[in-house]
Amino acid sequence: MTLKEHKEFELVYRRGKNAHARSCVLFYLAKEGEKKVGFVASKKVGNAVIRNRSKRRMRALFRALEPTLGEGHYVMVAKPLLHEIPFETLQKDFAYILKKINVTPVSA
């Protein structure tokens, strides 16, 4: 599921935990019974093509690790560097962010 309404994003920004990496920022709010995600790329990231590419990369990154993540609301915010760095580096950044926030992975 995706976060769609402004008030959902604001709730995660205000009450959630956040962690920064070189390529992106993750905001996380624990919420029982649901897992939702939102992706944000502001005009600081670049033009429309670059912003959309950045969001696609974040979606792919999240999709790869989604089964291991716990329930809650996630908001990923792109930084200007995101579209330039290799995908492997993005994966390392995302793993670092998850460890920093201490998101409990779902045991398989």
With 0-12 / 13-18 / 19 or more C-beta atoms within 10 angstroms meaning exposed / middle / buried, residue 28 is buried
Q: Does domain 6-101 have CATH number 3.30.230.10?
A: yes
Q: Please indicate, yes or no, whether the overall pTM of this predicted structure exceeds 0.85.
A: yes
SS3 31: coil
pLDDT digits (tens, 9 = 90+) for 61-80: 999 988 888 899 999 999 99
Distance from C-alpha of 59 to C-alpha of 24, rounded to nearest angstrom: 12
DSSP state of 47: S
* Conformational region of residue 11, where left means phi above 0, alpha means psi within -120 to 50, and beta covers everything else: alpha
Q: Where are the domains of the chain?
A: 6-101
pLDDT digits (tens, 9 = 90+) for 20-54: 999 999 999 999 889 999 999 999 999 999 999 99
Q: Looking at residue 82, what is its pLDDT?
A: 94
What residue type is assigned to position 15 of the chain?
R
